[in-house]
């Protein structure tokens, strides 16, 4: 019998953040104007979803703010100038993955969890790349940063954020992929 605790990856991670925490960050960064958020509105639902998706992946409020920044600030040309991102794009098949992602995004509607899964399946069916070789270019193109699964949660919030009147406009997945492809070809 082992006395070492199990590190089962399927175990849920505690979420220390609420919709109010997300709201405070957005107000502090001037992405949202302050003043009580009414319950059962698209904004309150989005704040709850953002806390639910991003909270377990943030060690503290600063980390949560960094993930939220990826929603409200996107500049493809600047992200392509970063060495770490250039490394992702230099890997075999990265541009094939991005091309297929663009085709999927431009062919359909908003990206939510089900649509994101369908896009991933379509990309898998179209290119021979998996794991990092597939996911890092996708995350880079849509968030402006290469990284791990927490970026997938950012992607899931983009198109729903576009429909909300934030003080700072949000670029949705289609706008981001168009901007990314244009910067990539520049």
Domain ranges, ordered by start, for the chain: 19-185
Q: What is the pTM of this model?
A: 0.90
Residue 105 to residues 50, 53, 84, Cα–Cα distance (Å): 22, 21, 24
Flag whether pLDDT at 3 surpasses 60: no
> Mind listing the pLDDT tens digit for each residue in 65-74?
999 999 999 9
Name the average pLDDT for the chain.
Answer: 91
Flag whether pLDDT at 105 surpasses 70: yes
Taking residues 34-49, what's their average pLDDT?
86
Q: Where are the alpha helices (DSSP H) in the chain?
A: 19-28, 42-54, 61-72, 76-80, 83-90, 94-107, 113-126, 132-143, 150-162, 173-185
Flag whether pLDDT at 45 surpasses 60: yes
Q: DSSP letter string over 113-154?
A: HHHHHHHHHHHHHH-S--THHHHHHHHHHHHSS--STHHHHH
Nearest to 171 by CA among 119, 85, 105, 84: 105
> Mind listing the pLDDT tens digit for each residue in 119-178?
999 999 999 998 999 999 999 999 999 889 999 999 999 999 999 999 999 999 999 999
């Amino acid at each position: 019998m082992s006395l070492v605790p199990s590190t089962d990856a399927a175990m849920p991670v505690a979420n220390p953040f609420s919709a109010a925490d997300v709201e405070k960050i957005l107000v502090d960064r001037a992405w949202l104007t302050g003043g009580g958020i009414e319950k059962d509105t698209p904004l309150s639902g989005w704040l709850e979803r953002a806390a639910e998706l991003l909270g377990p992946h943030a060690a503290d409020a600063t980390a949560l703010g960094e993930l939220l920044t990826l929603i409200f600030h996107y500049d493809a040309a600047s992200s392509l100038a970063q060495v770490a991102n250039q490394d992702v794009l230099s890997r075999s098949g990265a541009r094939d993955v991005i091309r297929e992602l663009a085709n999927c995004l431009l062919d359909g509607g908003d990206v939510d969890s089900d649509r994101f899964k369908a896009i991933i399946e379509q990309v898998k069916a179209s290119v021979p790349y998996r794991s990092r070789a597939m996911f890092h270019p996708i995350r880079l193109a849509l968030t402006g940063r290469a990284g791990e699964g927490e970026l997938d949660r950012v992607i899931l919030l983009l198109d729903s954020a576009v429909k909300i009147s934030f003080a700072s406009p949000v670029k949705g997945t289609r706008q981001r992929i168009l901007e990314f492809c244009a910067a990539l070809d520049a």
